[in-house]
Amino acid sequence: MKHLLTALAVAALFAAVPAARAADMKSSAASAPAAAASKTPTAQQNKMTMCQHQAGEQKLEGSARQAYVNDCLKAKPASAPTQGEKLGACSKEAAAKGLKGEERNQYLSTCGKS
């Protein structure tokens, strides 16, 4: 009798697990489109949109449009000057202004921060 009750309990447990998983899958599948719609586009997606828009403005079609978009996506944005480049430019400006000593140091300090 004990064995029969144990077997029934185990069978009921195994029957309940797939039903619970199915309900969980339905709820996660329903929330997936909403989650995907709320995500912001990545930088690459923004760049693709911009390149496609520019190709449309130029009224490009077919292989010309594809080539334009490929080149646009490969283009790298201009990099910002490094700290050393900024300091070099500030130093040249200070020399052109004839600044020396503490005045020069003060100028370089403020110039490098901008």
Contact status, residue 112 vs residue 87, Cβ threshold 8 Å: yes
Total domain count, the chain: 2
Spatial separation of the C-alpha atoms in residues 52 and 66, rounded to whole Å: 9
**Percentage above 90 pLDDT, the chain:** 27
Whole-model pTM? 0.37
In a domain, 102, yes or no: yes
Write the pLDDT tens digit of every residue in 30-61.
555 555 556 888 888 888 898 999 999 999 99
In a domain, 14, yes or no: no
Mean pLDDT of the chain, nearest integer: 78
Q: How far is CA 25 from the centre of its chain?
A: 29
Spatial separation of the C-alpha atoms in residues 86 and 112, rounded to whole Å: 6
Spatial separation of the C-alpha atoms in residues 100 and 94, rounded to whole Å: 8
In a domain, 10, yes or no: no
In a domain, 89, yes or no: yes
In a domain, 71, yes or no: yes
Spatial separation of the C-alpha atoms in residues 61 and 30, rounded to whole Å: 38
Write the pLDDT tens digit of every residue in 93-105.
999 999 999 999 9
In a domain, 50, yes or no: yes
Domain residue limits at 69: 40-77
